[in-house]
Amino acid sequence: MITKTKGIVLKTIKYGDASAITKIFTEEFGLIGFHIPSLFKNKGRIKPSHLQALNCVEISFNLSNAKNLYAIKDLTCHFHFSGAQFSQQAYYNVIVELITQSIKENEHNTSLFAYLYNQLIPSLNEHTGYWQLPTAMLQILYHYGCAPNTDGYENNHVLDLQNGIFSESFLEAYYTANPAVSNVIYNILAHGSDQLQQDGTLRHQTIESLIDYFRLHINESFDLKSREVLWQVMKG
């Protein structure tokens, strides 16, 4: 049975002399692997440019042919990153890391897919704002159902990273965001990123605390190595 679905390209690696294996996060079936024969010979209908990371595509494939790797029958690319500014490229690289490390094998999450496909990824070709990264991280946590709970938050409360709640009690430092960072995270969740001041040090601390949060709730080896470049480009 030939099935058509929307998808987000996560990663493409060379396989053999000219073929490739690509991982695509699909709307209806979650994360699926595909074998693309002769991709790098440029003889087929699918080109390497179609499989750039975070391309938003529509694919057709034979779902009933149960294999570890499927064959794509047809592919249409609806979005590809084309940001020319260095700040856009730096942000794109961080978002590639963020998404590829957040999507789990056999993950089927239509809410998360819709956010990525319709909002986060299309925004990559637009102006890169100062607080976009921590906002994107919290949105992904929200669509996974594990964002911090803002109920009962008060000034000077701290975020318990392990349990995802705000509390007046200080816990072991590794598991707690400081009060300023906790206030930033609360304001993003409660009011949106446009409510935040552009403080470079505070943004760095917020991202570091959210990386710890991702390690505790999404992926224990989570990291954003390319954030160093973004920090240099967007110092506040």
Q: What is the CATH number of the domain that holds 142?
A: 1.20.1440
Stronger pLDDT, 113 or 126, i.e. the higher one:
113
The reported pLDDT for the residue numbered 142 is 96
Query: What average pLDDT score do residues 79-91 get?
Result: 90
**AA letter at 224:** L
Tens digit of each residue's pLDDT (9 = 90 or more) over 4-56: 999 999 999 999 888 999 999 999 999 999 999 988 887 778 899 999 999 99
- Is the model's pLDDT at 150 over the cut of 70? yes
Place of tokens 């789990």: 104
Residues 90 and 75 in one domain: no
The reported pLDDT for the residue numbered 168 is 84
> What's the pTM value of the predicted model, to 2 decimals?
0.91
Query: What average pLDDT score do residues 218-233 get?
Result: 90
Domain count, the chain: 2
The reported pLDDT for the residue numbered 44 is 74
Residues 170 and 72 in one domain: no
The reported pLDDT for the residue numbered 104 is 84
- Is the model's pLDDT at 209 over the cut of 70? yes
Residues 94 and 172 in one domain: yes
Region for 54 from its dihedrals, namely left if φ exceeds 0, alpha if ψ lies in -120 to 50, beta otherwise: left
**Torsion of the alpha carbons at 15, 19, 21 and 25, rounded to the nearest 10:** 160
Q: What is the CATH number of the domain that holds 33?
A: 2.40.50.140
Query: What average pLDDT score do residues 153-164 get?
Result: 92
Domain boundary among 79, 105, 132: 79
- Phi–psi pair at 41, nearest 5 degrees: -90, -10
Q: ∠ CA 85-86-91 to the nearest 5 degrees?
A: 100
Confidence of residue 63 (pLDDT cuts 50, 70, 90): confident
Residues 102 and 61 in one domain: no
Residues 218 and 182 in one domain: yes
Beta bridge pairs of residue 7: 26, 57
- Is the model's pLDDT at 173 over the cut of 80? no
The reported pLDDT for the residue numbered 229 is 87
**Torsion of the alpha carbons at 231, 90, 27 and 20, rounded to the nearest 10:** -130
Residues 30 and 146 in one domain: no
Domain boundary among 40, 60, 79: 79
- Is the model's pLDDT at 172 over the cut of 60? no
Report the relative pairing of strands 158-160 and 72-79 from DSSP bridges: unpaired
Residues 93 and 60 in one domain: no
Residues 217 and 122 in one domain: yes
Residues 162 and 61 in one domain: no
Query: What average pLDDT score do residues 197-206 get?
Result: 83
What is the extent of the structural domain holding 185? 86-233
